[in-house]
């Protein structure tokens, strides 16, 4: 795959990477050469980034690619077909607004933004193809479908707990993926989606000895350089079902995100998830 600051002719899909200097941003740059139909035309960092003006390829360890890191998202979007956001929760609202104004499909891999953006996400999905993916691993997408199916099939006497481990620098707990898995479990059991604030409190403190039958528990660990591990635990009387996904290389998220972005660039306006991309659906 070639990278450059200028657009190229079809059928290449031109992509803007937002948050390009972060862990996922550099992983996306390193994974992009495997996608022959993809051309990275924009590398966006925050206005305060020390990487502004540098070559994005050198930051990612790829050598000179002539793709300059910039903070001018509207200009980058004007030369792109799709954008991927792996920046910060605080920057997401502005990035979403810019993508909507430019009428460009937008993949959100950023987590930790809570319910404050719900209205903005609904509004944007009326105008652009929007994929909200707290985890872009294909395996995690299947895990979500399996979680929903298991919650639907098992009786309510089975407790449901989401256990997750990540690297010590990950700020949000529980992770966006853990919350997505809890929503899948709640949907399977016919419960209301879990509240993110209540989930964070549950993950940060020990659970009382008694629990409601419909409560979904959370436990979070931040340590070392763990890429990511999620377990959905169904605990019954005398038996236990455990669904586990472990990522050992951040490249799995980058490859999944780039493949999903290529798919998203062809979609009509609407809100999508990774299960839409992989075509794995469960029904209640």
Residue 154 maps to which CATH number? 3.30.360.10
In a domain, 75, yes or no: yes
Q: What is the pLDDT of residue 203?
A: 61
Query: Cα separation of 149 and 147, whole Å?
Result: 5
Q: What is the pLDDT of residue 7?
A: 44
**pLDDT tens, residue by residue, 36-71:** 999 999 999 999 999 999 999 999 999 999 999 999
Question: Which pLDDT band, with edges at 50, 70 and 90, does 210 fall under?
Answer: low
In a domain, 2, yes or no: no
Q: How many domains does the chain have?
A: 2
Annotate 134-176 with three-state secondary structure: CCCCHHHHHHHHHHHHHHHHCCCCCEEEEEEEECCCCCCCCCH
Query: Cα separation of 172 and 226, whole Å?
Result: 14
Query: Cα separation of 99 and 146, whole Å?
Result: 33
Q: At what angle do helices 196-204 and 176-189 cross, to 10 degrees?
A: 110
Q: What is the pLDDT of residue 283?
A: 43
In a domain, 4, yes or no: no
Domain, as residue range, for 163: 138-247
In a domain, 121, yes or no: yes
Q: What is the pLDDT of residue 235?
A: 96
158 and 119, same structural domain?
no
Q: What is the pTM of this model?
A: 0.79
Bridge partners of residue 106, in order along the sequence = 83, 130
Residue from 229, 235, 192 nearest 211 by CA: 235
117 and 204, same structural domain?
no
149 and 106, same structural domain?
no
174 and 238, same structural domain?
yes
| Interval 182-210 mean pLDDT | 75
146 and 119, same structural domain?
no
In terms of average pLDDT, the best of 103-117, 166-180, 214-228, 230-244 is 230-244
Looking at residue 97, which CATH number applies to its domain? 3.40.50.720
123 and 30, same structural domain?
yes
255 and 243, same structural domain?
no
In a domain, 8, yes or no: no
Contact 251, 78 (CB under 8 A): no
In a domain, 1, yes or no: no
Active-site entry in 104, 166, 230, 245 = 166
Contact 49, 69 (CB under 8 A): yes
Q: Is the confidence at residue 153, as pLDDT, over 80?
A: yes
Active-site entry in 170, 230, 237, 281 = 170
Residue 166 annotated in active site: yes
In a domain, 128, yes or no: yes
Question: Which pLDDT band, with edges at 50, 70 and 90, does 196 fall under?
Answer: low
156 and 66, same structural domain?
no
Contact 26, 19 (CB under 8 A): no
Residue 245 annotated in active site: no
157 and 82, same structural domain?
no
Judge residue 104's burial from the number of C-beta atoms within 10 Å of its C-beta, 0-12 exposed, 13-18 middle, 19 or more buried.
buried
Q: What is the pLDDT of residue 1?
A: 45
Q: What is the pLDDT of residue 91?
A: 95
Q: What share of the chain is helix, strand, coil (3-state, %, to 5)?
A: 35, 20, 40
110 and 37, same structural domain?
yes
Q: What is the pLDDT of residue 164?
A: 95
Percent over 90 (pLDDT), the chain: 75
225 and 151, same structural domain?
yes
In a domain, 47, yes or no: yes
108 and 29, same structural domain?
yes
């Amino acid at each position: 795959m070639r990278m450059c600051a200028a657009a190229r002719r079809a059928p290449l899909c031109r992509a803007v990477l937002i948050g390009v200097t972060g862990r996922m941003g550099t992983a996306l740059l390193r994974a992009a050469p495997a996608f022959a139909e993809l051309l990275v035309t924009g590398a966006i960092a925050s206005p305060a980034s020390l990487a502004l003006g540098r070559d994005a390829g050198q930051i990612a360890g790829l050598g000179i690619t002539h793709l300059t890191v910039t903070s001018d998202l509207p200009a980058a979007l004007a030369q792109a077909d799709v954008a991927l956001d792996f920046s910060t929760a605080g920057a997401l609202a502005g990035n979403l607004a810019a993508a909507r104004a430019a009428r460009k499909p937008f993949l959100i891999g950023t987590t930790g933004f809570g319910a404050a953006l719900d209205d903005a996400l609904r509004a944007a999905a009326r105008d652009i193809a929007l994929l909200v993916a707290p985890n872009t691993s294909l395996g995690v997408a299947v895990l979500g479908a399996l979680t929903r199916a298991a919650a639907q099939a098992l009786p309510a006497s089975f407790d449901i707990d989401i256990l997750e481990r990540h690297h010590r620098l990950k700020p949000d707990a529980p992770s966006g993926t853990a919350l997505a898995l809890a929503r899948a479990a709640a949907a399977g059991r016919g419960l209301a989606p879990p509240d993110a604030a209540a989930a964070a409190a549950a993950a940060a403190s020990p659970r009382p000895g008694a629990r409601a039958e419909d409560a979904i528990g959370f436990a979070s660990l931040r340590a070392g350089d763990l890429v990511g591990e999620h377990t959905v635990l169904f605990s019954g009387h005398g038996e236990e079902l455990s669904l586990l996904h472990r990522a050992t290389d951040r490249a799995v998220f980058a490859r999944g995100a780039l493949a999903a972005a290529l798919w998203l660039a062809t979609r009509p306006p609407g809100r999508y998830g990774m299960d839409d991309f992989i075509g794995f659906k469960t029904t209640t």
